[in-house]
Amino acid sequence: MRGVVIKKALVIAEDERRKIISVLNGEIGVRDIHILEMKKGEKNEEGLIKLPLGNHKHWYPEVCYCYKGKAKYWLKNDQGETMEIDLNEGDIMFRAPGVVHTCLCTEDCILIDGAEYPWVAEEWNHYKPEEDLM
């Protein structure tokens, strides 16, 4: 899908003292980083969490690294293309401006999000789409 790139994080150095994992290497300039400690939630009959997270877009690019666990994403770009993916531990997702993203967590996970613009407030950073993505 245009506007979304998924890749694996690379271990660039490892020995008995430490492991260095490369998440970004010049793909976007990051001015804001969030650590999202996502909790497994109450499930509906299909086994999905009842309340999705996100269902918004930004006017700037973002990166999301799945440090632990797994999260299911629904994505839609400005051209109307859609994509459903499981972001697994070690996966990195780059999102272009305007990509609507909705997330459901069926297990606890830790996501690290980076953005080209700083966080100001929910209503400033997030634009809600006209319709729900799911």
Q: Let me know if residue 11 belongs to a domain.
A: yes
Q: Which domain holds residue 107?
A: 4-125
Which of 46-60, 66-80, 114-128 is predicted with the least confidence, judged by mean pLDDT? 46-60
**Is residue 73 within 8 Å of 105, Cβ to Cβ?**
no
Predicted local distance difference test score (pLDDT) of residue 127: 79
For 63-77, the pLDDT digits (tens) are 999 999 999 999 999
Higher-pLDDT residue of 21, 129? 21
In a domain, 134, yes or no: no
Output the pTM of the full model: 0.85
Selection from 11, 33, 30, 31 nearest residue 22 by Cα: 11
Q: In the prediction, which pLDDT does 67 show? A: 95
Residue 133 lies in a domain: no
Is residue 132 a part of any domain in this protein? no
Residue 131 lies in a domain: no
Closest CA to 41 of 102, 97, 95, 108: 108
- pLDDT above 70 as % of the chain: 90
Instruction: Summarize the confidence of residues 31-48 as an average pLDDT.
Output: 80
Is 99 among the domain residues? yes
pLDDT above 90 as % of the chain:
64
CA distance 111 to 90: 10
* CATH number of the CATH domain containing 117: 2.60.120.10
How far is Cα 119 from Cα 125, in angstroms, rounded to an integer?
Answer: 7
Q: Residue 87's pLDDT is what?
A: 94
Number of domains in the chain: 1
Place of tokens 């109450």: 42
The reply to whether 130 falls in a domain is no
